[in-house]
Chain A
């Protein structure tokens, strides 16, 4: 049986798709057979972030509606043998997904895969609901910023009340916090909410902190998941997230500001 993980946030633009791509790639690189599903019907983007946009023939909605088989719709990642992508439909409307249909697809995928990563759309409408409904685990992506934290709290409420596990009275979804676009220097100067602040407010454990970085744009420009940009802080931070998710004990990194030397202070850093 596969473990189902939803990557969710409520607010848009906080890094759900970036995280889904890197997290799924990370699991696959560790030898786990992984599929990542884009639930953002009508606004598909996971294919672009993973660099497989020109290989999408059939999508998630085609499979749910019986127009294609799973085998036809799953796209094998070009760099990683254990990773498969199920793209969202770009043409169908978001009502095309039914709870029953999605349930059947997930049940089918569970037979072949170790992990099913569900990339949720923003908002709290149908797509977001279906992405979280079947989840065993949740990674709530949050920026250190008021509107993102508030929306994450709302999503945590939904996970605890509207998911399959909640409705059927099973053990609750294991929800963990991933803070993205974290800027330690701004936190130290008191301009930005800290990890502890966000933990205090949302009251769930942290699975990782991704530093704010120009590398994320470089990654999406080229259709490479950020975790594959070897040697960058972002890549290392995502590797740590995968390790922690798999139960390893890794201390947080990239959460302290660099001590700037006098020359950097005067002339500015390269980054």
Chain B
């Protein structure tokens, strides 16, 4: 703030900062919220999950619920997340 701004009590223009921040966070949220129309998870996701379980189950004893597959969109990149919970002791 310049001395003149202080003298005349002018405030900083922050509306453009607000707009930018909103555009960034909403682009992200629209892509991830389950309640949002923009997040139509692809139909092959459950099948991928099932086949992955089958493959891993050949080697390690896991249940269907132990493997989670999630597809996220972030700006212009897509992130495929696969999360496997292994049993306490891995037996052959």
Contacts and interface: CB of A to CB of B under 8 A. Distances in A.
Interface of A: 124, 145-146, 149-150, 153-154, 157-158, 160-162, 166, 187, 189-194, 197, 200-201
A191 B13 CA distance: 5
Interface stretch (B20-28, B52-60, B69-77): B20-28
A191 B22 contact: no
Nearest to B10: A189
Contacts of B16: 190
Contact of A189 (B13, B23, B26): B13
Interface residues of B, number: 21
A157 B14 CA distance: 27
Given A190-B13, A191-B14, A158 B19 contact: no
**Interface SS, A side:** helix
Contacts of B26: 150, 153, 201
A150 B22 contact: yes
Contacts of A145: 18
Contacts of A161: 35-37
A189 B36 contact: no
Nearest to B37: A160
9 contacts: A149-B22, A150-B22, A150-B29, A153-B30, A158-B35, A190-B15, A197-B18, A200-B23, A201-B19
B37 A201 contact: no
Given A189-B11, A201-B23, A146 B18 contact: yes
The 3 A-B residue pairs with the shortest CB-CB distance in the complex, in nearest-first order: A190-B13, A157-B36, A160-B37
B64 interface: no
Interface in B40-67: none
B21 A146 contact: yes
A160 B39 CA distance: 12
A161 B30 CA distance: 12
Nearest to A201: B22
Contact of B35 (A154, A189, A193, A197): A154
A158 B35 CA distance: 6
B6 to A, nearest CB: 15
